[in-house]
C-alpha cells in the first residue's frame, strides 16, 4: 500500500531538506525546491506502483527539481562591456617587428603588395578582394597565399624566430649583418 503524502512528509522532510541544502547553498531556494518536490509527490504519488521504490522515486524527483532550479537561474553577474584581455607578454616583440614587416610588404611586387594590404591591413575578405580587383575568387586566394609565402620567406631569411607552443613569436635574432632590431631587414635578400 502506498503511504499518504502526510506520511511521506513526516518520513522524508528532514532528510530531503538536508539533501537539497547540500546541492543548493541558498536556504530560501532550498525551501522552495523542497516545496516543489512535495507538490510533485502529492500530485503523482498514486502513479507509484511499488512501495519499496518510494525513497528512490522521491530523491529522483528532488534531483530533477534541483536540476530545473539551476537551469532557470539567470546570470546575476554584471559583465563589463569590454572583456578583460590580459596583456600578451609577447606583444613587445611583435610591436617591434611591425615597421620591418611593413617595409617588407612595401617591397613586394605590386599585385602581392595590394593583396596583403587589402586583406591583412584593411580587413577585406578574399571574396571582397576578388570583387574589388575583378579577378576570380580562386585567383584572389592564390594571390594572397603567394604574398604571404613571399613575406614569410623574407622574414625567415632575415631573422631567426623563437615561437611558443601556440606559434606566437617570443623573440627573434637577426641572421645577417644588415639586420638589427633597429634597422630594416629588407636589405637581406
pLDDT of 65 strictly over 70: yes
pLDDT of 17 strictly over 80: yes
d(CA 141, CA 153): 18
Q: Is the dihedral of CA 22, 28, 29, 31 positive or negative?
A: positive
pLDDT of 125 strictly over 70: yes
pLDDT digits (tens, 9 = 90+) for 134-174: 999 999 999 999 999 998 888 888 888 887 887 777 787 87
Name the fold adopted by 5-72: Rna Polymerase Sigma Factor; Chain: A (1.10.1740)
Choice between 155 and 176, residue whose per-residue pLDDT is larger: 155
Place of cell 580587383: 133
- Could you tell me the pTM of the whole model? 0.47
Least confident of 45-49, 54-58, 128-132, 185-189: 185-189
pLDDT digits (tens, 9 = 90+) for 106-115: 899 999 999 9
Q: Give bridge partners of residue 138 from the DSSP assignment.
A: none
Place of cell 613571399: 150
Write the CATH number of the domain with boundaries 91-174. Answer: 1.10.10.10
16 closest CA partner among 68, 58, 71: 58
pLDDT of 119 strictly over 50: yes
Confidence class of residue 8 from pLDDT cuts 50, 70 and 90?
Answer: confident
Give one DSSP letter per residue of 41-88, joined into a string. HHHHGGG---GGGHHHHHHHHHHHHHHHHHHHPPP-----SS---PPP
d(CA 153, CA 7): 81
Whether the Cβ atoms of residue 48 and residue 5 lie closer than 8 Å to each other: no
Confidence class of residue 87 from pLDDT cuts 50, 70 and 90?
Answer: low
d(CA 44, CA 38): 10
Query: So where are the chain's domains?
Result: 5-72, 91-174
pLDDT for res 82: 47
Amino acid at each position: 500500500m502506498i503511504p499518504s503524502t502526510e506520511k511521506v512528509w513526516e518520513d522524508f522532510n528532514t532528510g530531503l531538506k538536508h539533501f537539497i541544502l547540500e546541492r543548493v547553498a541558498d536556504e530560501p531556494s532550498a525551501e522552495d525546491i523542497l516545496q516543489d518536490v512535495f507538490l510533485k509527490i502529492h500530485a503523482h504519488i498514486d502513479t507509484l506502483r511499488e512501495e519499496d521504490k518510494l525513497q528512490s522515486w522521491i530523491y529522483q524527483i528532488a534531483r530533477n527539481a534541483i536540476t530545473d532550479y539551476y537551469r532557470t537561474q539567470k546570470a546575476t553577474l554584471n559583465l563589463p562591456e569590454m572583456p578583460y584581455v590580459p596583456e600578451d607578454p609577447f606583444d613587445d616583440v611583435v610591436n617591434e617587428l611591425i615597421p620591418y614587416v611593413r617595409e617588407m610588404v612595401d617591397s613586394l611586387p605590386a599585385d602581392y603588395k595590394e593583396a596583403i594590404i587589402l586583406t591583412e591591413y584593411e580587413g577585406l575578405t578574399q571574396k571582397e578582394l576578388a570583387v574589388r580587383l575583378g579577378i576570380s575568387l580562386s585567383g584572389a586566394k592564390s594571390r594572397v597565399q603567394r604574398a604571404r609565402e613571399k613575406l614569410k620567406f623574407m622574414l625567415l631569411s632575415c631573422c631567426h624566430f623563437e615561437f611558443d607552443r601556440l606559434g606566437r613569436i617570443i623573440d627573434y635574432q637577426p641572421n645577417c649583418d644588415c639586420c638589427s632590431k633597429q634597422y630594416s631587414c629588407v636589405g637581406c635578400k
